[in-house]
Amino acid sequence: MGGDRTMGGGGGEPDLERVARRDDAVRAAVEHGLLTPGHPIVALLDVPGIRASAAALRAAFDAVTPPGTPVLHAFAVKATPLVPVLRLLREQGIGAEVASPGELALARAAGIPPARTVLDSPAKTLAELREALALGVAINADSPQELDRIDAMVRSAATDSPIGLRVNPQVGGGSIEALSTATATSKFGVALRDDGARAWIVRAYADRPWLTRLHAHSGSQGMPLSLMAQGVAETYALAEEINRHVGRRQVDTIDIGGGLPVNFGSDTTTPTYAQYARLLAEVAPGLFDGRYGLVTEFGRSLLAKHGTVLARVEYAKSAGGRAVAITHAGVQVATRTVYAPGAWPLRIAAYDAKGRPKTGPDVVQDVAGPACFAGDLLAEGRALPLLEQGDHVAALDTGAYYFAHHYGYNSLARPGIYGFAPTGDDDAGGAGGEGGMRFAVVRGPQTLDEIVAESGGAHGPSLTAL
């Protein structure tokens, strides 16, 4: 296969099993007719790969915590808000971190119990807080004003919800400002280094015996592991200070957030959960001595490597001496890449009309999407085997924050999403065996009637009647 398959990724070896599974799935998707003239784009999710990521996460923290330590791995639903995905993760021992009523509804629809659900958000409404407290969902308060709201609620009604406070350790930002949540002026949490803030936090816990958790999340993509670990270490030190002040182990659980970066440059998984867990154990060993329960909130790192967007090349042309492949994958499924290509470059793989890895000399070319603006490019000036009409392109590492977050530019339809597993994987489920793969529908392709309905079709005359 041509393109960026071997582009450097910062150490480690590529996951050749995952690459082979992806190639088989692309070929099977074409043979099985998942792409049609009416649906020339699909999204594919690697079910065995997702299972393997969940197992790696559990194993990484099992290796650094004493037996019996309470550890909840809560998947950040925002990363891939799809009920079948949440159900799959639930069966792998993963809970849910939610940040809106919609995400909580998705977690409940997937059967994730409230006791394995965490509610975070900087703008929780009274109704959200009441629902979470009634269900027993864990809550991390984001501000003093939110803590005041919770005060009134816990005085008036008993709850089983573990309650904590999110702090901003203010350790600095990474290379992507929008995803750096531990800067001096971040909108998240109580800024730990602001004047008087630390003393206020300690008093807040002393005044509220039911405040038993402490939460921090320093950022995600673009954050160096050292800075993430520093944020966790600062939070652990604060928990120790609170417990010394109150004279007992009031803070019994530390929520370290998620944010493990993803290597988008190659098929190598780096950094790994094991590397991060070992680093945390080095910088904050007391966090892993059995005195504290742990919560993690990983999202992108669990799913990104296991998703692929596959689209047909509708036309091939040239402009200014450069080849341009016009495809059906663009801003609607890869919004971040199109609008911020420097921060979010994607690898592109070339497949022929039958879904086989395309070979041939590399040609510098653009891979364009279908939207009506010039910047709708998946890749610009990329060296790939020359893409021709009827070929296919695959946008790799798109299992999180891509095709599940449809952007309705030009009223382009949401693609169908399908999970896949080799026919020999007895746990996979689903139907269809062409190409040695079974497929299961995760979300069907959007219809034109659905687009019209979502665009106010039932209220067509409403404005003309005013």
- Taking only the tens place, the pLDDT of each residue in 90-125 is 999 999 999 999 999 999 999 999 999 999 999 999
A 10 A CB-CB count for 125 gives 12
Burial classification of residue 404, based on how many CB atoms lie within 10 Å of its CB (0-12 exposed, 13-18 middle, 19 or more buried): buried
Burial classification of residue 414, based on how many CB atoms lie within 10 Å of its CB (0-12 exposed, 13-18 middle, 19 or more buried): buried
Task: Please state, in angstroms and as integers, the Cα–Cα distance from residue 187 to each residue in 166, 170, 174, 296, 340, following that order.
Answer: 11, 11, 16, 21, 22
**The pLDDT of residue 246:** 97
- Taking only the tens place, the pLDDT of each residue in 277-319 is 999 999 999 999 999 999 999 999 999 999 999 999 999 999 9
**The pLDDT of residue 217:** 84
pLDDT in tens, the chain (466 residues): 344 433 333 346 789 999 999 999 999 999 999 999 889 999 999 999 999 999 999 999 999 999 999 999 999 999 999 999 999 999 999 999 999 999 999 999 999 999 999 999 999 999 999 999 999 999 999 999 999 999 999 999 999 999 999 998 866 676 767 766 767 777 778 888 889 999 999 999 999 999 999 999 887 777 788 888 999 999 999 999 999 999 999 999 999 999 899 999 999 999 999 999 999 999 999 999 999 999 999 999 999 999 999 999 999 999 999 999 999 999 999 999 999 999 999 999 999 999 999 999 999 999 999 999 999 999 999 999 999 999 999 999 999 999 999 999 999 999 999 999 999 755 444 444 444 899 999 999 999 999 999 999 999 999 999 9
Q: Which two tokens stand for residue 215?
A: 């939460």
**The pLDDT of residue 193:** 87
**The pLDDT of residue 182:** 64
**The pLDDT of residue 428:** 46
**The pLDDT of residue 214:** 97
**The pLDDT of residue 7:** 32
**The pLDDT of residue 56:** 97
**Residue matched to tokens 């687009």:** 451
**The pLDDT of residue 2:** 45
**The pLDDT of residue 169:** 84
